[in-house]
Amino acid sequence: MLPDAYIFDLDGTLIDSLDDIADALNRALAENGLPTAPSDEVRGWVGDGLRTLCARAAPGLASGQLEPLVRSAESHYKRAVVVKTRPYPNILKMLDLLQSRRAKMAVLSNKPDTLTREVVQQLNLDHFFSVVRGATTEESRKPSPSAALSIAREWGCAPGRIFFVGDSLIDIATAANSGMVSVAVSWGFVSREKILSARPNFLVDDPLQIPNLAKK
């Protein structure tokens, strides 16, 4: 049995966007008189949305001080959203193979919705996906199952026949909360050991493993 559909996280799963995210964050931090951070440190902060990223980069800021930092980071990122960002190796081959099987595919990110769509479009990935969705409210952010289940309803697919693919503990939790099959990837922003601790249904080390996971 093969799954009916796939929902993919974006950053750290389909694309390596770390340097562009870190550059935008560091420009915003410097603009607000705050210490900047190396990319390796930023790597551990990504995945919960822009506001949380900024809060992790500048711990202890009051809400009134945090909001200007968030707005600045978003502004810098919008102006340079795809400079160094690229799909990970074998991602395009994997998507081509799934598309050839007429699998339904979606992107679900905690990145703001407009930025999610912009990145997917600029990288010419949009033709693979029937749904591309980022965060529109705090309540709908992963690990909330609401957006994932909305996509399942849109497709007319049972959640248990959808593979949810991501690189973070949040993605594994989202799959569990949605009743979907969790597929963790080892090439993203979270270490292999940490993601294994969340007990995903599958762990893959190469995108080309994904199309064959459920074959009997």
Q: Whole-number mean pLDDT of the chain?
A: 93
Q: Per the structure block, which two tokens stand in for 71?
A: 């707005």
- % of the chain with per-residue pLDDT over 90: 86
Q: Which CATH superfamily is domain 5-16+85-212 in?
A: HAD superfamily/HAD-like (3.40.50.1000)
> Which residues are designated catalytic?
9
pLDDT tens digits, one per residue of 43-86: 989 878 888 999 999 998 887 889 999 999 999 999 999 999 99
CATH, domain 18-79, list 3.30.9.10, 1.10.150.240, 1.25.40.10, 2.40.420.20:
1.10.150.240
Provide the whole-model pTM. 0.92
| 3-class SS string, the chain | CCCCEEEECCECCCEECHHHHHHHHHHHHHHCCCCCCCHHHHHCCCCCCHHHHHHHHCCCCCHHHHHHHHHHHHHHHHHCCCCCCEECCCHHHHHHHHHHCCCEEEEEEEEEHHHHHHHHHHCCCHHHCCEEEEECCCCCCCCCCHHHHHHHHHHCCCHHHEEEEECCHHHHHHHHHHCCEEEEECCCCCCHHHHHCCCCCEEECCHHHHHHCCCC
- Return phi, psi of residue 190, to 5°: -110, 140
Residue 215 has pLDDT above 80, yes or no: no
Domain ranges in the chain are 5-16+85-212, 18-79
pLDDT tens digits, one per residue of 138-166: 888 999 999 999 999 999 999 999 999 99
